[in-house]
Copies of this chain bind each other. A is one copy, B any other.
Amino acid sequence: MPLRSVAIINVTGYIGVDLARILLRHPEVEVTCVTGRSAAGKRLAEVFPHLSSSGLVIQSELDAPVDVVFCAMPHKASAETCEPLVAEGMKVIDVSADFRLRSRETYESWYGVEHPCPHLLDSAVYGLPELHRDRIREASLVANPGCYPTGALLAVAPALSSGIVDGDIIIDSKSGVSGAGRSLTLTTHYAECNESVAAYAVGGHRHHPEILQECRLLSDRVGELLFLPHLIPMSRGILSSCYMRLRPEWVSGTADISSRIAVLYREFYAASPFVVVVDTPPATKHVWGSNYCHVFPHYDSRTGRLLVISAIDNLVKGGAGEAVQNMNLMFGFEESSGIDQLPVFP
């Protein structure tokens, strides 16, 4: 079978360049075009010395049709870029936020811009394979999830979908600094964030409505969401500690709550090659550089709450790796093709 041709739009951000790292070694595809406005004309290997073995030159625009486009533009610009590609019949995986929210109003309210192509919202599929695997297989346009939503949803989905959770959810997430992107800010200036931890976006993070949307699709018992992200002095990784309230009637009727929850989680992910339900608290280092997600459910008997902790690499399972997983599904490749590297430890 001939290799499928792939393009990466805006290869110069962290998701873009991690797509390049993965796709340049993917056995089923050939990267035929990478674009990036400011770096156009330069060799990819010059801008990113870790890709020194690649001979690609960064283009200013996609110059020829390909089988699949990964679009890693900022929001709004991304939708504008994707629309004609979809119209031309290319498969598109958008790693921006533009097609993640079902509701145009919610999108416009949280992102503060008019949606460039709301007519595509209906056909776009939210690309969390563990929740929407079958629809992704049929999709032409996949909205790759945000990094926080990936980790948070994989933590809460089995509990929500089984109907054992009730009420508000609190998600306290800790992210490595690469999650803030490659644009220069004082917040991500080394000396400012090293040896420090802080919460941010306390008034509301844009991943809030995305997490809530999928939670409510999973369960109609979900109340409100309090999502608080923190910046951690490390390059990669997101750990999410998720606090949920179990339905009293389920708790009271349950003999061994912890075991039942563990079984429920293992069954939910039985067919998902990248999610591992672990029985000791996960560390982001256990998934570093890989597409794996470790999920640890724990029943807190003092408060009767369900605590679930998940760990992902924000740029792989929370970004480029998940996007390639979606591509694999869309083209009928092995789901783990090209993304089965084991985490790099230590």
Binding site for B on A (CB under 8 A): 14, 17-18, 21, 24-25, 48-53, 168, 170, 172, 174, 176-178, 182, 184-186, 188-200, 202-204, 223-226, 228, 230, 232-237, 239, 241, 243, 276, 278, 280-290, 292, 294, 296, 298, 300, 302-303, 305, 307, 309, 311, 340-346
Contact = CB atoms under 8 A, between A and B. Distances in A.
Nearest to A228: B241
B190 A224 contact: no
Given A50-B343, A189-B190, A203-B298, 4 more contacts: A49-B286, A194-B234, A196-B285, A197-B284
Contacts of A185: 184
B194 A235 contact: yes
A241 to B, nearest CB: 6
A168 B303 contact: yes
A96 to B, nearest CB: 19
B345 A302 contact: no
A345 to B, nearest CB: 4
Contact of A177 (B194, B243, B311, B340): B194
A307 to B, nearest CB: 7
24 contacts: A14-B191, A21-B344, A50-B285, A50-B342, A50-B344, A50-B345, A177-B190, A177-B194, A178-B191, A182-B189, A184-B189, A188-B190, A190-B193, A192-B346, A196-B288, A197-B283, A198-B285, A199-B239, A223-B303, A224-B302, A233-B234, A235-B346, A341-B341, A344-B344
B235 A232 contact: no
A224 B303 CA distance: 6
A200 B51 CA distance: 20
Contacts of A285: 50, 192-193, 195-196, 198
A292 B303 CA distance: 32
Contact of A282 (B49, B289, B292, B345): B49
A343 B21 CA distance: 8
B194 A194 contact: yes
A102 to B, nearest CB: 19
B194 A346 contact: yes
Contacts of A346: 14, 178, 191-192, 194-195, 235-236
Contact of A49 (B170, B177, B294): B294
Nearest to A172: B172
Contacts of A305: 168, 170, 226
A271 to B, nearest CB: 15
Contacts of A280: 49
A219 to B, nearest CB: 17
A25 B340 contact: yes
Contact of A278 (B49, B232, B290): B49
B198 A236 contact: no
A107 to B, nearest CB: 18
B342 A198 contact: no
A53 B233 contact: no
A135 to B, nearest CB: 26
